[in-house]
Structure 1
Amino acid sequence: MTQSAGARELLLLRHGKSDWREPVADYDRPLKKRGKLGAQRIGAWLQEQALEPDQILVSPAERALATAEKCVKAMGHTVAEVETDRQLYMASVEDLLAVLAKTPDSTERLLLVGHNPGLEQLVRALPAQPPATPEDGKLMPTATLAQLRFQGAWSELAPGTAELQRIVRARALSSEFPFPHGQAVDEWRQRPAYYYRQSAVIPFRCLDGQLEILLIGSSSERHLSVPKGIVEPGLSDIASACREAEQEAGIRGQVQLPALGQYRQAKWGSWCEVTVYALEVTEQLPEPEWQERQRGRQWLSPVRASQQVRQPELGRFITKLTRLLN
């Protein structure tokens, strides 16, 4: 931080565009794809501008929490940094100031993710010179960030005590994300950088002396595959692969080291690097505890499994695993 002693910075982010098609209560309304991308663009912009927060507070409503998590991961941070506060759900200006007043003075830059009308009213109230209303009449549309600065303790923050630095709309930012190579950024991609590192497991068991491989339906349900997913910030390749195995296949087990290998998969306009592990299955969760049970699961012989997977590299890894276990 380069700010002078006593200087504070407040980042106010309205949640991304939510999906009204879902027949759920307001509190549980999810983000649309546009809302997720908007949150990620704000996160990438904050990282580019060296504006990563020291603390992150968020309304626990689904659309706000998802916005915070998408934003934080796009910054390269872990979702463990996100703190929820029930008082932020549909909070008034008074509620928001009460939450902010509890912020420790060790926090120099705070990101707060919440809802209108409270956030917009706060953005209008805090600056000594209130902002002009844009031509479209919307000061804080969805996935919009306001940056404010003030002097003193968080408990002293009050209307008229801050200076508005800028208001940034996600839709005004680049539709692509910087992809780092070392310390330089010389490439832009369709998704945040962490999307392009993935891990997978090939689940296996020995039943009556016969080796079997577990396959599941793909997310599109058009072919069979193995549990695989993005390695999110804060997780290792192995931890991520085990999480995908539990969520997608409803299984737990023991990862075998070293990894079977790596392969590249074309996705999101570039190449994803996928690390593949063998997982000896020790437990199959009952269907009510299996998050993505709509995928289904099939135990197959190694030969049959290698023929069924669409990625030829996975077929070769199944063959390699068979040789290692025989």
Structure 2
Amino acid sequence: MKTLILVRHGKSSWEYEVGDKDRPLKERGINDARKVAKAFQFSMPEINAVFSSPANRALHTCLIFLRTLDFPFENFRLENNLYDFSGESVMTFVQGLDNSLDTVMIFGHNYAFTNVANQWGSEAVGNVPTSGLVHLEFDIDSWDQVSGGTTKKMLFPKQLNQ
């Protein structure tokens, strides 16, 4: 069994004149990431490794999750292939993961994560929103076999604002 948890970065700010990789989170992005992380910790499987896109907004979202989930930083790594907007590099990265890892959490971008969730999950999602989390499970032993799996959970900030 392999488990993949996708988390789209929080709402980013366009207030600063910086390159795409340097865009920071808005306050709403920080708050939404905290809400989703807190809600997820109650149903969270044991995570073996966490990977994040090097973009500031994805990394900041990841750090909020790591702190909230009390996840050891030594099992975290930046991954350039997660700075992807189509999903092709994300899929290639996932299919190349070390098979000693059973549960992996990745932080990245749209439309990549919506495409991955729709291609590999069992439930259609129109759009993974900012700070959105999609938990997928695959009945396989090797990451290179990843294809259609089961969508175990979708956790979006709007659900938590009620």
Calculate the TM-score normalised by the size of structure 1. Answer: 0.47
Distance in 2 separating the partners of 1:74 and 1:9: 20
Distance in 1 separating the partners of 2:114 and 2:29: 18
Question: For the Cα contact (< 8 Å) 1:16–1:142, is it kept in 2?
Answer: yes
Question: For the Cα contact (< 8 Å) 1:69–1:79, is it kept in 2?
Answer: no
Question: For the Cα contact (< 8 Å) 1:43–1:73, is it kept in 2?
Answer: no
Gaps of 5+ in 2: none
Shift of residue 163, structure 1, vs aligned partner: 1.1
Matches within 5 A, 1:1-326: 7-127=1-121, 129-131=122-124, 133=126, 139-152=127-140, 153-158=142-147, 161-173=148-160
Question: For the Cα contact (< 8 Å) 2:32–2:157, is it kept in 1?
Answer: yes
Residues 169 and 24 of structure 1: CA distance in aligned 2, closer, same or farther (over 3 Å): same
CA-atom RMSD in angstroms: 1.8
Aligned to 1:258: none
One-letter amino acid matched to 2:19: A
Residues 37 and 45 of structure 1: CA distance in aligned 2, closer, same or farther (over 3 Å): same
Task: Indicate the SS of the match to 1:105.
Answer: coil
Gaps of 5+ in 1: 1-6, 134-138, 176-326
Residues 132 and 74 of structure 1: CA distance in aligned 2, closer, same or farther (over 3 Å): closer
Distance in 1 separating the partners of 2:123 and 2:130: 20
One-letter amino acid matched to 2:116: L
Residues 70 and 97 of structure 1: CA distance in aligned 2, closer, same or farther (over 3 Å): same
Question: For the Cα contact (< 8 Å) 1:52–1:75, is it kept in 2?
Answer: no
Question: For the Cα contact (< 8 Å) 2:62–2:107, is it kept in 1?
Answer: yes
Listed one character per residue, the Cα deviations across residues 103-147 of structure 1 (whole Å, up to 9, x for unaligned) are 1122111101100011111111113x45154xxxxx201000011
One-letter amino acid matched to 1:165: K
Question: For the Cα contact (< 8 Å) 2:52–2:78, is it kept in 1?
Answer: yes
Higher relative CO (Cα under 8 Å, sequence separation at least 6) belongs to 2
Identity of aligned residues (%): 26
Shift of residue 91, structure 1, vs aligned partner: 4.2
Distance in 2 separating the partners of 1:68 and 1:41: 13
Task: Indicate the SS of the match to 2:30.
Answer: helix
Task: Indicate the SS of the match to 1:64.
Answer: helix
Calculate the TM-score normalised by the size of structure 2. Answer: 0.90
Report the structure number with the largest CA radius of gyration: 1
Aligned to 1:206: none
Structure number with higher strand proportion = 1
Residues 100 and 73 of structure 1: CA distance in aligned 2, closer, same or farther (over 3 Å): same
Residues 132 and 104 of structure 1: CA distance in aligned 2, closer, same or farther (over 3 Å): closer
Shift of residue 81, structure 1, vs aligned partner: 3.0
